[in-house]
Amino acid sequence: MKEIYLDHAATTKLDDRVLEKMLPYFTEIYGNANSQHAFGRSAQKAVDEARDGIAKLIGAKPSEIYFTSGGTESDNWALRGICRALKGKGKHLIVSKIEHAAMLSTAKELEKDGFEFSYIGVDEEGFINLEELENSIRDDTIFIGCMLANNEIGTIEPIKKIAEIAHKHGIFCFTDAVQAMGALDVDVNDLGVDAMSFSAHKFNGPKGIGALYIKTGVKIDRLISGGHQERTKRGGTTNVPAVVGFYEALRLAEKDLQKNAEYVSALRDKFIKKVTEEIPFVKLNGPKDGKKRLPNNANFSFGYIEGESILFSLDLAGIAVSSGSACSSGSLEPSHVLLAIGVSEETAHGTIRFTFGKENTEEEVDFVVEKLKETVERLRAMSPLFKLQSDIKSV
Ligand code: PLP
């Protein structure tokens, strides 16, 4: 059976070239990067090279890159670190309604500790409401955060403008660039943010490694206490193979960024065109303009059927997709992102996210559309809601 992976927003395959770079650091150069002997120094050299290289690729200084276990930790650190560092200054924070669970569930916990959050709405394509954001600013606002690109519907947010608004009011500005990194040209100076999260497994790097960029001079407390790693800001023995793989994956992603973005967006556009033309009662969620959404993202609601039923039928045919975001799968709650863009609960339940990668082909797109058509037709034939709808139409 064919195996077609269309869930690149959840995670990606480790690039063979990345694995090759990582392998010696498991068995040959295995020293603790904090040790002072030759074993340690060799490991530290690789970590320094990776930090320098990653910093250069995003326009940062090496001393502004802090390695973490990934996007979730970096998001937690940014929120909790600012709350701890600036609690004397204020207790109000602003985030968008469509942030990842790593942000929103942290916000809910911080609310229990007495911090107050404003959750800013988005329009029907998922773009943040800048007026509402600026109007929400209070004298005690200490944090403004918005993701650079949404993981479910691919909307690319106006972070540069958000950073300008934040800084006009002297407020710290954070972006979660987990989905954007490796797909878009990301430069911290151009964006103007004070901190930014990113994670290697979203661009063919290893899982469990990411970074928080923290601009020089920003006051932020540590999240994880321990040894002197990461200039005492993040304790824990450095995962040297993962750090090496992180840098190599980002280097390769940036080198081929334009080429991959063009290739992947052509697959996405072909898919969107075919699905829209060939399957009735579908709604494309997220921006209509392909340049305003992540190159790899297509998100469709299929009327009168359940997303889970589509997902499992496609899975049986060897096709991997996601209903909502991977992180919320397992929960039957409708996606908070879809509800925020005004999709009804019922329609939200019939939603599937398709995210393409450079390994996918045009033939795969054709095959998936055929399977999807069959699946949707079969499920609708069994759907009482669809039957009712067609009876009404035929009267
Ligand atoms: N932020 C966004 C926007 C994401 O899409 C994800 C993962 O899907 C995360 C954060 C969490 O990243 P990680 O899997 O590295 O913890």
Region 206-212: what's the mean pLDDT? 98
Is residue 261 domain-shared with residue 250, that is, in the same domain? Answer: no
| Residue 384: per-residue pLDDT | 84
Region 105-123: what's the mean pLDDT? 98
Query: Residue 110 and residue 83: Cα distance in Å, rounded?
Result: 8
Reported as a single tens digit per residue, the pLDDT across 30-65 is 999 999 999 999 999 999 999 999 999 999 999 999
CA of 147, closest atom in ligand 1: 3
Query: Residue 197 and residue 211: Cα distance in Å, rounded?
Result: 6
Instruction: Count structural domains, the chain.
Output: 2
Tell which of 200, 220, 255 closes a domain. 255
Residue 146's pLDDT band (cuts 50, 70, 90): very high
| Residue 1: per-residue pLDDT | 81
Residue 72's pLDDT band (cuts 50, 70, 90): very high
CA of 210, closest atom in ligand 1: 15
Q: Are 293 and 155 in contact (CB under 8 A)?
A: yes
Is residue 265 domain-shared with residue 243, that is, in the same domain? Answer: no
CB distance 7 to ligand 1 below 6 Å: no
Is residue 142 domain-shared with residue 274, that is, in the same domain? Answer: no
Tell which of 255, 289, 319 closes a domain. 255
Is residue 26 domain-shared with residue 150, that is, in the same domain? Answer: yes
| Residue 348: per-residue pLDDT | 95
Is residue 37 domain-shared with residue 145, that is, in the same domain? Answer: yes
Is residue 187 domain-shared with residue 281, that is, in the same domain? Answer: no
Distances (CA, A) of 246 to 18, 182, 227, 264: 8, 11, 22, 22
How far is ligand 1, taken at its centre, from the CA of residue 257, in Å? 20
| Residue 387: per-residue pLDDT | 79
CB distance 152 to ligand 1 below 6 Å: no
Tell which of 199, 230, 255 closes a domain. 255
Is residue 155 domain-shared with residue 205, that is, in the same domain? Answer: yes
φ, ψ for residue 234, nearest 5 deg? -150, 100
Residue 385's pLDDT band (cuts 50, 70, 90): confident
CB distance 157 to ligand 1 below 6 Å: no
CA of 199, closest atom in ligand 1: 15
CB distance 146 to ligand 1 below 6 Å: no
Region 180-184: what's the mean pLDDT? 98
**Pocket-testing residue among 12, 95, 100, 250, ligand 1, by greatest number of atoms within 8 A of Cβ:** 100
Is residue 173 domain-shared with residue 219, that is, in the same domain? Answer: yes
- Active site members: 327
CB distance 106 to ligand 1 below 6 Å: no
**320 class by beta-carbon count within 10 Å (0-12 exposed, 13-18 middle, 19+ buried):** middle
Is residue 385 domain-shared with residue 265, that is, in the same domain? Answer: yes
CB atoms within 10 A of CB 53: 17
Residue 27's pLDDT band (cuts 50, 70, 90): very high
Reported as a single tens digit per residue, the pLDDT across 247-293 is 999 999 999 999 999 999 999 999 999 999 999 999 999 999 999 99
Is residue 236 domain-shared with residue 264, that is, in the same domain? Answer: no
CATH number where 95 lies: 3.40.640.10
* Closest residue CA from atom 5 of ligand 1: 151
Is residue 233 domain-shared with residue 294, that is, in the same domain? Answer: no
Range of the structural domain that residue 128 is part of: 16-255
pLDDT at 363 over 50: yes
CATH number where 322 lies: 3.90.1150.10
Residue 374's pLDDT band (cuts 50, 70, 90): very high
Is residue 41 domain-shared with residue 181, that is, in the same domain? Answer: yes
Query: Who has greater pLDDT, 311 or 1?
Result: 311
| Residue 45: per-residue pLDDT | 98
CB distance 70 to ligand 1 below 6 Å: yes
How far is ligand 1, taken at its centre, from the CA of residue 42, in Å? 31
